[in-house]
Chains A and B, each alone.
Chain A
């Protein structure tokens, strides 16, 4: 008993990580960008959970939000447009011991990477996926995105966009093996932190959509919601997230919702006014693909040698075959 206790004491001193241990560089996002709120929440989560920085891998695609890994003092992989999810899946399959986070924007996830998004839900690999949804292409300067409201005047839709917005929540909730869906808005940091924390603790593909303001290109889009607390719906349940007394005083529009109820979750997800925040859906029983595939199983050299030899035997013609008869099948 004493030895492990001793180890614990040493480790506590060594492994106590302050917030700065997760911070790297000064973010180059615009002031007022929702990405800053997510970064603060994630860094706080890492500190609160006392995660070892070398065990964290943040994977992203391309876009404003995909700069995220650069601002974490952890391992990070800033990949190519739309492909954050398959890269993250490869990381997780090779190294199930790592905590994998994915930061992806609405263009990255819901447009160019949409196929990967659907399949990633189905694989249900244990990772925390944050959809930074600001409803517009920012890095390429104001083009319509799949989640843009209909009629948005952008550089590619100067007369207003033509189609209704895609709803990332209903899409996610419609895919086989969906296991965790939550939503938050960047202007309520407490909820951003709470849903990301819940996502981190869920074993499986935890999908968190953060509704974000783009101060540069869509500064006014969420004004009515900011000014009217009734336009935000807090989802409450013992299996959901809690809300502080201060928050409850402001946001009185609350609804009990059991995250186990997928039908109700889909109904709530369809609603954009008021915006539901909190945990919409959680199912801890969905198996993770990396577990099904037994990722990270020890692989001694002897196992490789004997496996290869057995396979080679199957195809071998021994020199005395014609005389001795049977080769070893």
Chain B
């Protein structure tokens, strides 16, 4: 290792990290197919910004990339705490990457405690390279210094390659507050480590700090250069991940930004919301840009007001949207039932988080499927879609708006915190006028037109909007007849429930069967929905490479279900739902076939198709890893 490193190290017994050098001392460039990098710190040290920038630069380089935020529950958790790790995971690859991967290859940590958190939860691969801020070794508080040394020893003992770097000391000559500047130093280091084009890195830094002053941009550029220079002078190894540059322009955003862009593109004009993690960042971005296209983000006084405001706006104009997460979704349920009953188009985005109750606000889970489909009292049929990629977040909102207005229905788009904060490049959308809603119909309504003239075959009605002459009527959440008047007749109540239910069947007739990933027949079919797609498909690919006959299918529509699912399932010996929600383990002592609670999708598919579908789920708050699913497949087939 370099002299710089050894000179700041007091503890002479610390072993020299054995980085490879070739015989004449030149830097070795190793070519990798992929690499998982993490940057972890206390909150407020800029690790997330560093990670996101690295992801964007990698995308610009033409690499496949998927970034995952590591978020503590609090804004300012106690410093140097195991549970307080904040940062980013960036998985880089030569090909398209669709999930965060399994273990970490390279980690940069600003203190040893947050790093310990990652070690303890088994996130590091054996032999992982660690760049560790070394200032703690000589910290004034002997307890901190001792904790650092102890952890250092532990990490070395565990076989990790620990490289101590005095990040703050190295940044001190460049910025007055190195605590906040070292993230860009690290970015420079990593860009050099991965042989990224520094010109692109500079551009990315300018973009990242576009809202800041020139001075801030300049000092961050200086930090970037210093980090890169340090790496050039001190590291003996470099990695190169071959680029498979896409032929078309790509955009790099996270799932929540993608949802917000989808709202822009869908032609919706009003978004009513209430702050809630992890959905809020979609509204943050929308608030920044919506007014430029004549849209309005209304932060309501509560979740119920947000939903009813959107319903009022939809009723009187174009379909509106409300964006929320689990607890907010629960609060909106009654209002969603009102929109179902009155047949008002409405788009609801539920960025799921861990539940029940406050649960795990910053962690992902797919726990809201059943409450979304069956929620709100009484029979309240609504359309439920789940986005499975970052790109899907964008197009799902556009599709949702169209379905909502074509069928006068509530359409719920499910995302989750895994998609919300992850970034993945996808082809740049090409604007299409057909995405937008037509202008509000203000033409006179022919005499005799009824507001709820349910088509006997499809259940559809003609929507009449306030302002249309001759169309005056009152809508109500009470059971109502074709004129919208309160129904006292039990027959009309049943007819109206039939009509609203029929609309789902009408929509279902227009859907295509879900595609099968892998062979159309075999020994095991994995069925999933939502953000687990990337991990499931990667696991299936690995299993198939080993000769196992596994395939998967991923459902975009959960209500109504796409056609052909039963036929797909029947071509496999076993069917397994993999979901990030709870299902009882058959090997638990109390659990048997009479009381086992299945995962949400498994429960739905079993009841609908009378097929003996098994399920596996995990609620660890972290995205399910491809390796975990791969093991699952092997356990069943190998």
Query: Within the complex, which residue of A91, A303, A305, A315 is in contact with B466, where a contact is CB–CB below 8 Å?
Result: A91
Cα-based distance from A326 to B200 in the complex (angstroms): 7
| Among listed B1-9, B27-35, B36-44, B316-324, interface-contacting one | B316-324
Known: A90-B314, A93-B313, A319-B247. A98 touches B428 (CB 8 A): no
Taking the nearest CB of chain B, how far is it from the CB of A109, in angstroms? Answer: 14
Q: Choose one: B56, B264, B267, B308; the contact of A79 (CB below 8 Å).
A: B308
| Residue from the list A52, A80, A94, A301 in contact with B436, Cβ < 8 A | A301
A69 to B60 CA separation, bound complex (whole angstroms): 58
If A91-B312, A93-B298 touch, whether A315 touches B474 (CB-CB below 8 Å) is no
> What 1/0 flags go to B462-497 for Cβ under 8 Å of A?
000011111111111110000001100000000000
Q: A83-B335, A325-B200 are in contact. Are A115 and B301 (CB under 8 A)?
A: yes
Q: Is the CB of B200 within 8 A of A322?
A: yes
Q: Which of chain B's residues have a CB closer than 8 A to the CB of A132?
A: none
From A69, A94, A312, B316 is in contact (CB under 8 Å) with A94
- Chain B, residue nearest A52 (CB): B469
A227 in the interface (beta carbon within 8 A): no
Q: Does A72 contact B (CB under 8 A)?
A: yes
A115 touches B305 (CB 8 A): yes
Assembled-state Cα–Cα distance A101/B544 (Å):
64
Most buried by B among A53, A97, A316: A316
Is the C-beta of A25 less than 8 angstroms from some C-beta in chain B?
Answer: yes
Chain B residues, CB < 8 A from A260: none
Instruction: Report yes or no: A77 in contact with B252, Cβ–Cβ below 8 A.
Output: no
Size category of the binding interface on chain B: 35 or more
Sorted from nearest, which 3 A-B pairs have the closest CB atoms?
A90-B312, A76-B474, A94-B317
Q: Are A327 and B60 in contact (CB under 8 A)?
A: yes
Asked whether any CB of chain A lies closer than 8 Å to the CB of B249, the reply is yes
Known: A80-B335, A95-B466. A75 touches B473 (CB 8 A): yes
Q: Does B447 contact A (CB under 8 A)?
A: no
* Chain B residues near A308 (CB-CB < 8 A): 261, 264-265, 293, 431
Indicate if B170 sits at the interface (CB-CB under 8 A).
no
What is the minimal beta-carbon distance from A111 to any residue of chain B, in angstroms?
14
**Cross-interface CB contact of A329 among B210, B291, B335, B431, cutoff 8 Å:** B210
Asked whether A317 lies within 8 Å of B59 as measured between CB atoms, the reply is: yes
Of A156-164, A216-224, A273-281, A292-300, the one with at least 4 CB within 8 A of chain B: A292-300
The reply on B243 being an interface residue by CB < 8 A is yes
A29 interface hit (Cβ, 8 Å):
no
How distant is the Cα of A82 from the Cα of B317 in the complex, in angstroms?
A: 22
Are A25 and B485 within 8 A (Cβ)? yes
The contact of A307 among B264, B311, B342, by CB within 8 Å, is B264
Q: Considering the complex, give the chain A residue whose CB is closest to the CB of B433.
A: A301
Given contacts A304-B267, A311-B264, A329-B207, whether A90 and B294 have CB atoms under 8 Å apart is: no
A72: chain B residues at CB < 8 Å are 474
Query: Considering the complex, which residues of chain A in the window 265-299 have a beta carbon less than 8 Å from any beta carbon of chain B?
Result: 293-295, 297-299
> In this assembly, does B270 line the interface, its C-beta being within 8 Å of a C-beta of chain A?
yes
Binds B, one of A55-63, A188-196, A251-259: A55-63
Given contacts A86-B304, A90-B311, A312-B428, 7 further A-B contacts (CB under 8 A): A54-B470, A89-B298, A115-B302, A115-B305, A299-B269, A319-B247, A329-B206
Can you pick out 30 interface pairs between chain A and chain B where the beta carbons lie within 8 Å of each other? A54-B472, A59-B312, A70-B476, A70-B486, A73-B472, A75-B472, A76-B473, A76-B475, A77-B342, A77-B476, A78-B476, A83-B305, A87-B308, A87-B312, A90-B308, A90-B320, A94-B314, A98-B467, A115-B305, A119-B305, A303-B294, A307-B293, A315-B257, A317-B250, A317-B252, A319-B248, A319-B249, A321-B60, A326-B203, A329-B210
Q: CA–CA, A174 to B335, complex, Å? A: 29
Contacts of A317 in B (CB 8 A): 56, 59-60, 249-252, 425
Contact B309 A89, beta carbon cutoff 8 Å: yes
Decide yes or no whether B61 CB sits under 8 A from chain A: yes
CB atoms of A94 and B251 under 8 A apart: no
Say whether B429 faces chain A, with CB atoms less than 8 Å apart.
Answer: yes
* B334 in contact (CB, < 8 A): yes
CB neighbours of B289 from chain A (8 A): 307, 311
Residue of A nearest to B394 (CB): A312
How many angstroms from the CA of A94 to the CA of B206 in the assembled complex?
Answer: 38
The total of interchain contacts (Cβ-Cβ below 8 angstroms) comes to 212
Residue of A nearest to B464 (CB): A75
Contact of B387 with A by CB under 8 A? no
Which residues of B sit under 8 angstroms from A80, Cβ to Cβ?
A: 308, 334-335, 338, 477
Residues of A within 8 Å of B269, CB to CB, are 94, 299
Q: Which residues of B contact A (CB under 8 A)?
A: 56, 59-62, 197, 199-200, 203, 206-207, 210, 243, 245-253, 257, 261, 264-265, 267, 269-270, 272, 289, 291-296, 298, 300-302, 304-306, 308-318, 320, 334-335, 338, 342, 425, 428-429, 431, 433, 436, 466-478, 485-486
Known: A293-B296, A301-B433, A316-B249. A98 touches B316 (CB 8 A): yes
CB proximity of A310 to chain B, nearest CB, Å: 8
A: which residues have CB within 8 A of B?
24-25, 52-55, 57-59, 62, 69-70, 72-80, 83, 85-95, 97-98, 115-116, 118-119, 293-295, 297-299, 301, 303-305, 307-312, 314-319, 321-322, 325-327, 329
Chain A residues within 8 Å of B265, by CB: 308
Contact of A297 among B56, B294, B301 (CB under 8 A): B294
Residue in B245, B294, B320 whose beta carbon sits within 8 Å of that of A319 in the complex: B245
With the chains together, A294 CA to B317 CA distance in Å? 15
A53 surroundings in chain B (CB, below 8 A): 472
Cβ contact of A95, chosen from B293, B467, B469, cutoff 8 A: B467
Nearest CB on B from A69, distance (A):
4
Question: Do A298 and B294 have beta carbons less than 8 Å apart?
Answer: yes
Chain B residues in 8 Å Cβ range of A298? 294
Q: Cβ of A78 and Cβ of B478 under 8 Å apart?
A: yes
Q: Chain A residues near B314 (CB, 8 Å)?
A: 90, 94
Tell me, in angstroms, the Cα distance from A274 to B154 when the chains sit together. 81
Contact A316 B251 (CB under 8 A): yes
Q: Which residues of B contact A79 (CB under 8 A)?
A: 308, 311, 338, 477
Contact B293–A299 (Cβ < 8 Å):
yes
Asked whether, in the complex, the Cβ of B311 is within 8 Å of the Cβ of A87, the reply is yes
Task: State A97–B626 Cα separation when bound (angstroms).
Answer: 54
State how many angstroms separate the Cβ of A42 from the closest Cβ of chain B.
14
Report the separation of the CA atoms of residues A311 and B262 in the bound assembly, to the nearest whole angstrom: 11
In the complex formed, the residue of B with least CB distance to A309 is B431
- Looking at the complex, which one of B197, B252, B261, B466 makes contact with A54 (CB distance below 8 Å)? B466
Which of A59, A70, A298, A312: most chain B CB closer than 10 A? Answer: A312
Of all chain A residues, the one with the shortest Cβ separation from B261 is: A311
> Given the interface contacts A70-B485, A311-B264, A311-B289, does A94 sit within 8 Å of B474 by beta carbon?
no
